[in-house]
Amino acid sequence: MSKRVVWVWSFNNHQQTVSLPNGMSALLWPNKFQKEMRDLLAPEWTIEFISDNLSEPLPKAEVVVIPRTSRGFYTERAKNANVVWITGNEVATHDLEGIKKKIIEA
């Protein structure tokens, strides 16, 4: 059975979009990036890219990936989660191997 990664791609409050964090919005081909990340982590890990609803509990997973620019929203919210903080630069430059390493080492 594979381990689960939840990646906070954007966040909302009661399903109303609040923000698309820096880096996630800078991508020209977000679907391509997400597919490449899924393919790179498979089959050991499954990854789900979500719009996190701040009015509900943070989804459970072995690892939660959160953009560092959103740290203010998640310091308290994710205190019991195994969090990997990533930069927008890592996403914008497609540092897939670097991100994978962070996830595996978390």
45-95 pLDDT tens trace: 999 999 999 889 999 999 999 999 889 889 899 999 999 999 989 998 999
The domain that holds 67 is classified in CATH as: 3.40.50
Going through 1-106 in order, the beta strands assigned E by DSSP cover 3-13, 16-19, 45-53, 63-67, 83-86
Number of other CB atoms surrounding residue 94 within 10 Å: 15
The tally of domains found in the chain comes to 1
Per-residue pLDDT at 1 = 82
Question: Residue 36 is part of which domain span?
Answer: 3-105
- Find, among 70, 57, 64, 60, the residue nearest to 83 by Cα: 64
- 52 and 58 in contact (C-beta within 8 Å)? yes
Of 19-23, 69-73, 87-91, 100-104, least confident by mean pLDDT is 19-23
Q: What is the pTM of this model?
A: 0.89
